[in-house]
Structure 1
Amino acid sequence: MAASAAVSAQEAQQMPFIRNLASSDRKLRTESLASLQSFLSSRQSLSPLDARKLWTGLYYALWMTDRPRPQQALASDLANLVSGLQSACVEPWLAAFWSVLGTQWPHIEALRLDKFLLLVRRVFSAHVRIVKEQGYKGDLAEQVVGVFAKWCFDAEDEEKVALGLRLHVLDVWVDELEREGAIAAAKEGNEDAKAFVEKVGALVETLKRCPVKSLRQRAADSHDDERLPWAEKNEEDEEDEDMDGAEGGEGDEWGGLDN
């Protein structure tokens, strides 16, 4: 990330709301989160630069947070911040998350990795929830698909998002589609939900042809997940083929009664 597009760790830690979000005092954390939510909801627009600065600060807030329960709560709270945004702020906010985390990912220490793995899962789920709330269609739904295409499942740009982060997204995308009910809605005949799930699946499918072997394999495995609507269809096709083959086999072997 360019220097002009980010704040340093020291600068981020000096932001009052960042320090307070990472505080061991639950009341202070709650008050700070409420202030941040109020600030974000009042914005009519949000520049990519401002969004990246904020997410850099939030990254360090989670980085400084100790103990599993506060970490889990903060990861969920940060993911849910998008729900209070004006429509014009959603796309830059989501894109800034992937931009910042993609830059920071290679520098996350092993002991801190679990909370960021959880953050990615919660944020991806929040993306899907936005689409669900819009009835799986409309401008916001298209913006979310665009964010997925650019930051999560881009088969062309290997440098934009760290490999480890992209692999983790491939590990969780089906889980979060299922968690938010998108897969169930698609299977139950909601055509808009079906179209959305298929769009995400098509993005994953493009990674089967990317130059990185680990991404190709992970994409292929996750795209074939048995929970997905097209996997169910493929299983039915295979059963039909097996039945046709069995019937044909019996016919070939039958030679009538011996005289």
Structure 2
Amino acid sequence: MAPGVPLPPEIQLAQRLAGNEQVTRDRAVRKLRKYIMARTQRAAGGFTPDELLKIWKGLFYCMWMQDKPLQQEELGRTISQLIHAFQTTETQYLFLRAFWQTMIREWVGIDLLRLDKFYMLMRLVLQESLKVVKTQGWEERQIEQLLELLTTEILHPDSQAPNGVKSHFLEIFLEELTKVGAAELTADQNMQFIDPFCQIAARTKDSLVLHKIIRSIFETIVEQAPLAIEDLMNELDTQSEEEEEASDGDEESSEGEQDLHDTPPRRLPAGSHRANPEVDKEQVWDDEENTGPVLQFDYEAVANRLFKLASRQSTPSENRKRLYKVIQKLRDLAGGTFPDDDVPEKAYKKLLEGRRERKKKKKKRLPTLQSQNKKGRNETETSSADPSPGIKRKRSRRRDEKAGQRGPPGKRRKPGARAKGAGVQQPARKRKQPLPNEK
């Protein structure tokens, strides 16, 4: 290139993104976002794959230069959210494809100290790419387009993706899908998301990919089955409670209004509280134990799909054996039998009863906890009072006795040293005879 010709804007931004100063890198990220929005708004605008690869190389080294975990996470979120600055879905997927190509190309040069932040960047980019599909209303065509991009770039036999990228992608896929779409996706849509993994598991010759798909996709579905059933029962329970409250509210509205007019409002005594701290702690613990929404699956449909793929003649024997084990577990789940011994087979029938019993126990604990709190306050008041003078006298006597045992102040012997003459039999002293003058 001639010395007088200016560099393209993509190269200039990439150079600033990989700068040594953090201020320069932060400004470059902000300018890049504005540049993407301005360029993709035009009808004839857009990016070529080579231009996006240059931009991603600058972003890669921008993340490379960033220190401190909190700043790394903030930068990772900022970089991953650049996908929303593109105004068309085509450029969004080009940007996403360039990211995975950059990670595959640069993965070998990442050292152990920088590996965690690039793992985090992969997770955040995958999460934002799923949010793009979510904004489109989980359309079937958008789901297929995203899955085709991910499988061709990462899991295809012709892909040059290293094992680290493949393993981490398979480990985080179902987790990020749960975070983004567990509350909205149906069982059929979830089946569409895992169908490419079913096909790859049936035909792949890579033992690592087969193991990761079975462990991170299918076995995770089996392990989350009790939570999924509990989540479904919670939804049914809330719907029934809302219907009961609506019916009871219509009947008791007139009586409640009359009682409110007749009874004066109560005032709480000074120093009392409305909420019980012990009950609040129990509620916090219950909230911590409760997990978020879980992906719902039609276990019979998943088992049938896997059986159809595994029973083909082209399926390797090792893949067929491992998939048949997964199929058996899924069919047991479809029949109401949990494969794990820790979970009872009829747990999904007793979830509602157990929940109601816990609510009753909490209501019974309220008066007992209040009485215990009163007793505890009285005990603390009595214990905080001054001790009696008799106790003080006993303490002073003990101190005097200890001081008398120690002897007069002087040189203290070292611990473990013997006193003079200790343990040795000394001869008897001769009596001093008087002098003749004294007689």
TM-score by length of 1: 0.75
CA deviation string 1:151-194 (max 9, x = no partner): 2332x22x4212210110001001100111x233224x7xxxx4
Taking the aligned partners of 1:111 and 1:61, their CA distance within structure 2 comes to 16
Aligned ranges for residues 74-223 of structure 1 at < 5 Å?
74-87=75-88, 88-137=90-139, 140-154=142-156, 156-157=157-158, 159-180=159-180, 182-187=181-186, 194-195=188-189, 197-208=190-201, 209-223=203-217
Q: 4+ residue runs of structure 1 moved beyond 6 angstroms?
A: 11-14
Taking the aligned partners of 1:140 and 1:232, their CA distance within structure 2 comes to 24
Aligned ranges for residues 24-63 of structure 1 at < 5 Å?
24-25=22-23, 29-43=25-39, 44-63=45-64
- CA shift in 2, pair 1:48/1:210, >3 Å: same
Tell me how many residue pairs correspond in the alignment.
Answer: 220
- CA shift in 2, pair 1:217/1:241, >3 Å: closer
Find the counterpart in structure 1 of residue 297 from structure 2.
230
Do 2:133 and 2:143's aligned partners in 1 also have CA atoms closer than 8 Å?
yes
Shift of 1:59: 0.6
- CA shift in 2, pair 1:107/1:13, >3 Å: farther
Higher relative contact order (CA 8 A, sep 6+): 1
Secondary structure in 2 matching 1:46: coil
Secondary structure in 1 matching 2:160: coil
Give the aligned residue type for 2:82: L
**Gap regions ≥5 residues in structure 2:** 1-10, 40-44, 225-294, 301-329, 340-344, 346-439
Do 1:102 and 1:162's aligned partners in 2 also have CA atoms closer than 8 Å?
yes
Percent identity over the alignment is 22
Shift of 1:36: 0.9
The more displaced of 96-105 and 143-152 is 143-152
Find the counterpart in structure 1 of residue 327 from structure 2.
none
CA deviation string 1:9-41 (max 9, x = no partner): xx899712332xx7444xx55433221100111
CA deviation string 1:70-109 (max 9, x = no partner): 1111111111100110213112111000111011112210
TM-score by length of 2: 0.46
Give the aligned residue type for 2:169: V
Taking the aligned partners of 1:14 and 1:122, their CA distance within structure 2 comes to 21
Taking the aligned partners of 1:36 and 1:151, their CA distance within structure 2 comes to 25
Aligned CA RMSD, in angstroms, stands at 2.7
